[in-house]
Structure 1
Amino acid sequence: MIQGTVLCINLLIIKGVVKIKAKLMTGFALLIIILFSLTTFIACAERSFEITDYQAQVKILENGDIQVSEIFEYDFDGDFNGIIRTIGIKGSDGFKYFKASEYFPEDKELEYTQSLNADMVTYKIYDKSSNERKLFLLEYQLRNVITLYNDTAEFYWKFFDESNTSPIGHVKIEVELPAAEVSAEELKVFGHGPLDGKVSIQEDGKIVYEVFRLSSGEMVEARILFPNSMIPDSSKIINQNKFAEIMKEELGWAKKAD
């Protein structure tokens, strides 16, 4: 009886040890999973990207639409599924078309989805990237952007607004008018954005607006006055004289900036 009792006690102890070992193994496995998950999360959280350059070519059409070609240069550190571009459409009649492509290193059209929030259209453009440099080409046309007054035509457009969260190393915007020949009295160009931005009129008649460092939350906006005779097919007509009022407004802003 004593031997049997001892045997039973030993068996109970062995079972207890087995249970303890099983619990320890389960706990250890759970700890490994947690540590692995944390490591994976940290690795994902540490990924980053930089927009090093933005180039835009804008062509003003005779009907008041604008055709835009944008090239974004991205430097990816980590794995990404694509990029996001948000474009304001206030002051226009919306998009006629939109096309997204990878411009470098490959040349291919990309799929995208779009969503509308008030006057902002957000495009999610899908293209897997990992630790590499890429160029993306966005092409689109916006309807009725140019406003036709009695004494001038006005192009007034934001390329980036205060909601932009990504700094950009260099911004260059070229605007092409429907006709190259225009007098200095009729052509007025203004850039709104960082104070070190530069606006110039080239020999070929193109207007260039350049910013050498755009911080997040800063806007880039161009305003151009030119002869309304260049937009003979425009339907966005306001029966007012506006040239003097706009010039007064711009000069007032320039004084405040100084």
Structure 2
Amino acid sequence: MKKRLGAFLFILLVFFPTQAFAVEFTIADTDIHAKLLSDGNVEVKETHTYKFDGEFNGITRTLIPKEKSAITNVHASENGTELPVEQEENLYKIHRSGSDESITIELFYTIQNGVEVFEDVGQFYWPFFDESNESSYQNMTITIEPPEPADIKAAYGFDAAYETVSTTEDGKVVFHLGTVDSGENGDIRAAYDAALFSNAPVKSFEPMLEEIQADKKQMDEIIAARAETSERWGNFALYFSAALFILVLTLLISAARKRSETGREVDRRRRSVSGFPKEKMSLPAMMSFTNHGHLPTSALTASLLDLVLKGNIEKVTEEEFKLVHRDTDYKHEHRLITWLFDEIASSDTLHLEDVETYAEDKSNHEKYQLRINAWKEEVKQELQQYTLVENAPVPRFTAAIAALVTLPFIFLFPYYDLFLWMFVSISLFLFFTGFSIAYRPLNEKGRMIKEQLYPIKISDDWKSWEEEDQVPALLYQIGMGKRDLLKTTSPSLAPSNGDWMMFLILGASIQESFQSADKHATVSASSGGVSGGGAGVGGGGGGSGAF
């Protein structure tokens, strides 16, 4: 189970980050020495080496005692010099300020009634840290020393401390935990002859050694069975993931084949079609369709010029426009006229400076954004009326089923410590979910429109088209932001008839006003301790940190 909680916390922190800790540090070494006394108390000396990056005020140590025990006489020192210790319930703050350095602090305390005495043995069963710990230990060692040299009746650890024990001839028990990640438990247990604790209160006059040994045997059996189960699940994960990867390839190949078929038909049709698309679709809708639903500020410029082209609006000068009539083909065109002439200009004549004056007024900032968004929404509604994509129910339904099948294994694999397969499952789940939601291949109509409009984004080939297609092509290029209108227009660009050149010059004036208005109206608009009950044996636990 080691690192299981850490993996889930890693996922949560990646996708839902919370806050940065004020103090950057690592706990390079931690050595805990627990001396068992004949009266059942335990004298503990902890040596912690911290490496700090930046300024710090000290370290923290959370000491949560088990039930019917207590932590007393807590004090700390560095190189023999006593350090101030501040207590907040189970959290102890050792004050020692500095910056960018490594420090080694010794912490001393007594565990009252730390040893539990039975008829045959006395046991020290203790959690020096538990899952509430928020900091990782890079190298931890715990040593248990009996009141005097003696035989060890039993010694083992749980979770992070499992299979880390070694013993010495004089009866010391050493747990070499090494790296201990945050959020882990690691209870330790050592038992000696009860006669060593003659001055300690007896918890029970029943024998306990057989139960301690039985607990160890049961834990070994559970872990062995778990390892066997984990191996079986690992084999399953290999074949399961392989099958899903084959499905991924099948979906991708199917999508590529569909795209190729549609492309061949569109290429065949394009041989007999040229110029700007003749589909019954507004210019803003075309821009939205070919720009992933996004309409930049330049789309307003193009939309206003499109209304000039249609005759709804008449150019008086480069800075002044007159409303001719309100009979529009689309709702968003009517909304744009209403906003520009009724709300901003308050007349049938719009001066471009009216737009800037309107946007400079802070009371209009929210309304400006609301009107723009409402216009974009109506463009979106128009676009939804057209059938430009295929629903592709079979591949999307297949992907959705695959996502549902994969989902439970994201949680099941880490339960058996199969973290690699967990991340593989997450990747597959995200792919299948995204495919089932987003895969809507363009049909021939949608592909045809995109293919016809794409050259306008990257070149001026439209200048050789028929006159009726040149201005719409220019307006599309302007709306997509592919032409810098604020640069001085070169006279060499003007054709003999000058039709689209007039719109280019108008576009420069309008774009400058809308950009200025948009700029005005855009709204610019570590401590590691815990207190309370622990998750270790007997409700105890603890952890480390810094401040």
Q: Shorter chain as normaliser: what TM range?
A: 0.7 to 0.9
C-alpha displacement at 1:192, in angstroms?
Answer: 1.5
> How far apart are the structure 2 equivalents of 1:91 and 1:137?
26
Contact 1:146 1:236 in 2 (8 A): no
Aligned mate of 2:110, from 127, 141, 162 = 141
What code does the residue aligned with 1:65 have?
A: N
Task: Name which of 129, 133, 136 aligns with 2:98.
Answer: 129
Q: Cα distance 1:144–1:196, how it changes in 2: closer, same or farther (>3 A)?
A: closer
1:47 shift after superposition: 4.5
Equivalent residues in 2 for 1:89-238, closer than 5 Å: 89-103=65-79, 107-116=80-89, 121-182=90-151, 187-194=153-160, 197-238=163-204
- 2:33 and 2:161 mapped to 1: Cα distance? 22
Separation in structure 2 between the aligned mates of residue 196 and residue 153 of structure 1, nearest angstrom: 21
Displaced runs of 4 or more, over 2 A: 44-47, 193-197
Letter in 2 for 1:96: T
Amino acid in structure 2 at the alignment position of 1:113: E
Structure 1 residues 52 and 196: alpha-carbon distance in aligned structure 2, compared to 1, 3 A threshold: farther
Query: What SS class does the counterpart of residue 150 from structure 2 fall into?
Result: coil
Amino acid aligned to 2:46: E
Quick one: distance in 1 between partners of 2:202 and 2:87?
Answer: 26
Aligned to 1:72: 48
**Letter matched to residue 213 of structure 1:** T
Contact 2:63 2:71 (8 Å CA) reproduced: no
Question: Paired residue for 1:245?
Answer: 211
- The answer to whether the Cα contact below 8 Å between 1:156 and 1:224 also exists between their aligned partners in 2 is yes
SS at match of 1:159: coil
Instruction: Answer whether contact 1:110 1:126 (CA < 8 A) is retained.
Output: yes
Gaps spanning 5+ residues in structure 1: where? 1-43
Determine helix, strand or coil for the equivalent of 1:170.
strand
SS in 1 for 2:78: strand
CA contact 1:83–1:124 (8 Å) conserved in 2: yes
TM-score, structure 2 length as denominator?
0.36
Alpha-carbon distance between aligned partners in 2 of 1:45 and 1:147, rounded to the nearest angstrom: 39
Q: Which residue of 2 aligns with 1:39?
A: none
Given residue 166 of structure 1, which amino acid in structure 2 is its aligned partner? S
Sort the Cα spacing of 1:140 and 1:168 in 2 relative to 1 into closer, same or farther, 3 A.
same
Residue 176 (structure 1) shift: 0.7
Secondary structure of 1:229's counterpart equals helix
- CA 1:46–1:233 in structure 2 vs 1: closer, same or farther (change >3 Å)? closer
CA displacement, residues 26-45 of structure 1 (integer Å, 9 cap, x when unaligned): xxxxxxxxxxxxxxxxxx96
In structure 2, distance between residues paired with 1:246 and 1:122:
31
Structure 2 vs 1, CA of residues 74 and 233 (structure 1 numbering), >3 Å: closer, same or farther? same
Aligned-partner Cα distance in 1 for 2:162–2:119: 33
C-alpha distance in 2 between matches for 1:145 and 1:91: 10
Measured in 1, the distance between the counterparts of 2:160 and 2:130 equals 12
Q: Is the 8 A contact 1:85 1:124 kept in 2?
A: yes
SS at 1:156 equivalent: strand
- For the pair shown, the structure with the greater C-alpha radius of gyration is 2
Code of the aligned partner of 2:84: E
SS of equivalent to 1:52: strand
Aligned partners of 2:161 and 2:175 also within 8 Å: no
For 2:44, the aligned partner's letter is V
* Structure with the higher strand share, 1 or 2: 1
Residue pair 2:156, 2:163 contacting (<8 A) in 1 also: no
Q: Could you tell which deviates more after superposition, 173-182 or 155-164?
A: 173-182
Question: Identity percentage over the alignment?
Answer: 30
Does the residue aligned with 2:59 lie in a helix, a strand or coil? Answer: strand
Q: In 2 relative to 1, CA 46–139 (structure 1 residues): closer, same or farther, beyond 3 Å?
A: closer
The alpha carbon displacement at 1:241 in A equals 2.0
Structure 2 unmatched ranges of 5 or more: 1-19, 225-547
1:159, distance to aligned residue in structure 2 (A) = 0.8
For 2:211, what is the secondary structure of its paired residue?
helix
Structure 1 CA distance for aligned equivalents of residues 21 and 182 of structure 2: 20
Which residue matches 1:28? none
Cα gap change, 1:82 to 1:213, in 2 (>3 Å): same
Q: Give the CA deviation at 1:219.
A: 2.0
Aligned: 1:63 with 2:39: yes
Structure ranking higher in helix proportion: 2
The CA distance in 2 between the partners of 1:157 and 1:196, in whole Å, is 14
- The 1-side partners of 2:220 and 2:53 are apart by 40
CA deviations on 1:165-198 (whole Å, 9 max, x unpaired) are: 101111111111012132x6xx110111327751
How many residues align structurally?
205
